[in-house]
Amino acid sequence: MEIHIAVEGHHDLSGQIYRQLRAGILEGRLAGGTRLPSTRDLAAQLGVSRKTTLDVFERLLSEGYLTARAGSGTFVADGLERLPAERSPHVRAADSSREPAKTKSDTARAQPLWEQMPDSLPMPRPSVASPHDFVGGATDKALFPFDAWRRCVNHALRTQARGSGTYRDAAGEQELRLAISRYLAFNRAVSSNWEEVIVTQGAQHALDLLARVTLGPGEVAAIEDPGYPPAHACFTATGTRAWRACRSTARV
């Protein structure tokens, strides 16, 4: 396995590696029983001498953070007391003769607005069984053209295999945006240029983009009630005051 360790400069290399490995063990990022790379492999990964990584492993072994198993390798010791996950510890040198490690900032916390959001989006559940399912987001797989979809996926994979592997247009593939633009023109009588079309990852992604671009914190968005619950959650999450408007039936 590879371990993410950042070695800066050429000063106190063994101390830098020791402190980062020790912090990873204490913070739980390296769980008990995790097999570490050999000293030779770790030295090659970090571009340091094998003696440097040997010194680090010997120190961690002597302090009880690691255990060596003959013929198997070196592992993180089991049964170590971990630091609380809700606060990030300060990584310090074990003795004053070594350069003190840089302190880490506190664990990133979500903004208060996000802490108020429910763990899951409120979706209505039917109280009794129904012959027809109208729950949002549920589709009848019997109507899905799996054969046509499979051919399209295979074609896309072959095309990607011949490509350069770079990032594509964030707004979506040009061919797909052009097809959507033509569909809008013929079926919805909406005139649009393909460059004005943006392909999103779904309705929730589109609502989030619209809320961020067109609305500011504290502004009001009117949403039908009953309506689409995730839309209300999306607008609320961006700081918008979502106002529920009850539907009314017009009589002629």
Residue keyed to tokens 């953070």: 65
Give me the DSSP letters along 92-106: --SSTTSPPPPPPPP
* Dist. CA 103–CA 92, nearest whole Å: 8
Q: Report yes or no on whether pTM surpasses 0.85.
A: no
Pairing status of strand 73-76 against strand 241-246:
unpaired
* Dist. CA 62–CA 18, nearest whole Å: 12
**Range with the lowest mean pLDDT among 1-15, 16-30, 81-95, 107-121?**
81-95
In sequence order, the β-bridge partners of residue 74 are 36, 68
Reported as type and span, the H/E element at residue 184 is helix 174-187
Band of pLDDT at residue 100, cut at 50, 70 and 90: very low
pLDDT tens column, 124-156: 565 677 777 666 667 778 888 999 999 999 998
The pLDDT of residue 74: 92
Read off the tokens for 125.
């559940």
Query: What residue spans define the domains of the chain?
Result: 1-108
Q: Tell me which CATH code domain 1-108 carries.
A: 1.10.10.10
pLDDT tens column, 190-220: 888 888 899 998 888 998 888 888 888 888 8
